Amino acid sequence: MLRQSRQAMPPPAQARGPSALARSIPQTPRPTPQREPPSLASSLKKLSQCSTTELYPRLSLYAALTGFRETPKRRAKSTDAACDARREFLDSFAYLCDVKKGGATVTAAALQKLPMSNILWLAANEGISEDIEKYARNIRSKLCTINVQNEKKIHDEIFQLAVKKCAPRIRFYRDELKRYATRCRMTLKQQAQDEIVKTLRSKLKKLSDQPAQNVTADRGLINLCYDMRDSEICHINNKSNGPESDFSKLAHFIWRLGATRCAVNRVVEGALKDPSLQLISDIRTIKAPETARITTEARFLSPHEVLHSIVNDSVMHNPLHDKDVFDRLCQLDVPRSRPIHTEMAKRTTVVTRVHAELQIADRFSRSKDMKFVGDDRFIGCSKPACYFCSAWLCEHKKDYVSPGTHRKVIPGCRGPDNDLNEAGAQVLLDLYRKIVRRVGQDIYQFLQESHQPRRHFMSTEAPSETSLANS
């Protein structure tokens, strides 16, 4: 019995080591390793590399090939009348604040919606000065009281303010206008004296015989130029034999001088058409980021190396097309003088600034609480957008309204890079990469089309809006 009971007993348990015990204990699944988010330092380094080795070399090549990408483009009209009046208001208000020639005071404007009122935001390429802010507030206070009965009075008061404050810009246009009006009068004197020629000679005499500059005289000159926008400016353009002719330049400066009156008209009309514009309770300004010097090594500024990188980036490769664009670049960058290479070599160091419209776009995009009036993501500007800013706004994930643009390729632009955190640096890097691809595509297309150099449509160099207005 004893033997049987011993045999029935189970065998003694085997000793188990630590590893065996560990295998027998249920294990929770190991988490999938997470990729570390890029540090700010790492993102800024990539940003610097992208700008100095890709973005600025491509912008420099495009600027050397052609000053402008195609012809100017007007912004699209809104189907809503109040919305369109608001956009005209923002462009025109910005224009009235851009009081000097050059790029320093180029101004942008946008409307932020609040529960009971709205805020007008202003920015300028090199910042809004205190006296311009005071002047803008003065205009705003007058607009807040406008109605059908006092419209003319308010218009005259704002026009008076604008002519006085914009005197530096008006003086420049006035001097150029007198010079070309005198030349064109002499030319017309030698032509057959039909009614059109007689009328033009009479008007040009008034333009060339302007008295010494003062507010009253300037108001009269601006009104005269504004009134000439309808028929006389067409007759002047008809006398032109090209964009460099005296008649083309005269038409341009007549148009520019009339622009101050036009801007006042649109500001006043907008305030009457869109009630939201009379609800502007405050004006706020954005401090412009400092200018920054971007240095690119000479090896990245070789026209052919830049084109190689563009071809290599392309998803679709066509050897015949690739050969054509390289051949075209060789034709333009002839071996002896190498004009394209020489022009790019001047841009090893570029002084860059953040343009006004990008400052405002950045302010709105960084805040979840800032909303546009009518959810219309439009940013007005005193001048049409340059090539870089137009591309920036069109590529931005916030879907800003595509601006009007003169399409000038300006290498001295950069994206808003002040006070960046990790997320902001990544957003900026993504935008730079999109613009790099866009510039590459445009360069490739330009070389394929073999266009002649495009005409510059800057405010002091060409007919600007006149050709568009008459089309």
Q: What is the pLDDT of residues 423-462, one digit of tens each?
A: 999 999 999 999 999 999 999 999 998 654 544 445 544 3
- Give the domain range for residue 195: 129-285
Distance of CA 411 to the CA centre of its chain: 12
The whole-number mean pLDDT for each consecutive block of 10 residues of the chain, a chain of 471 residues, reads 47 50 51 62 92 96 83 83 95 97 94 96 97 97 93 96 95 94 92 89 89 84 93 90 90 95 97 93 96 94 95 81 92 91 94 97 94 96 95 93 91 93 92 95 89 49 42 36
- 277 and 388 in a single domain? The answer is no
pLDDT at residue 469 in the model: 44
The angle at the Cα of 464, spanning 458 to 466, to the nearest 5 degrees, equals 170
The C-alpha atoms of residue 370 and residue 368 are separated, in whole angstroms, by: 6
pLDDT at residue 176 in the model: 94
Among 285, 309, 326, which residue terminates a domain? 285
- 344 and 398 in a single domain? The answer is yes
pLDDT at residue 3 in the model: 46
The C-alpha atoms of residue 422 and residue 42 are separated, in whole angstroms, by: 9
- Asked if residue 111 is part of any domain, the answer here is no
The C-alpha atoms of residue 302 and residue 64 are separated, in whole angstroms, by: 12
DSSP 353: B
pLDDT at residue 71 in the model: 76
- Asked if residue 104 is part of any domain, the answer here is no
Domain count, the chain: 2
- 295 and 191 in a single domain? The answer is no
The C-alpha atoms of residue 22 and residue 20 are separated, in whole angstroms, by: 5
DSSP 373: G
The C-alpha atoms of residue 413 and residue 359 are separated, in whole angstroms, by: 12
pLDDT at residue 459 in the model: 52
- 325 and 390 in a single domain? The answer is yes
- 134 and 245 in a single domain? The answer is yes
- Asked if residue 83 is part of any domain, the answer here is no
Q: Which of 259, 265, 261, 262 is nearest to 464 (CA)?
A: 259
Q: Which of 173, 166, 303 is nearest to 249 (CA)?
A: 173
pLDDT tens across 52-82, in order?
A: 999 999 999 999 998 766 678 888 788 899 9
- Asked if residue 333 is part of any domain, the answer here is yes
pLDDT at residue 26 in the model: 52
- Asked if residue 240 is part of any domain, the answer here is yes
- 56 and 152 in a single domain? The answer is no
Phi-psi region of 102 (alpha: psi -120 to 50; beta: other; left: phi over 0): left
- 296 and 431 in a single domain? The answer is yes
- Asked if residue 246 is part of any domain, the answer here is yes
Among 285, 320, 350, which residue terminates a domain? 285
Structure tokens at 162: 């604008």
Q: Could you tell me the pTM of the whole model?
A: 0.84
- 138 and 238 in a single domain? The answer is yes
- Asked if residue 424 is part of any domain, the answer here is yes
- 279 and 319 in a single domain? The answer is no
- 183 and 322 in a single domain? The answer is no
Q: From residue 270, how far is each of 86, 185, 346, 371 by CA, in Å?
A: 6, 38, 45, 20
pLDDT at residue 192 in the model: 85
pLDDT at residue 434 in the model: 96
Among 285, 307, 337, which residue terminates a domain? 285
- 243 and 307 in a single domain? The answer is no
The C-alpha atoms of residue 192 and residue 447 are separated, in whole angstroms, by: 45
- 269 and 413 in a single domain? The answer is no
Query: Phi first, then psi: what are they for 403, rounded to 5°?
Result: -85, 165
- Asked if residue 307 is part of any domain, the answer here is yes
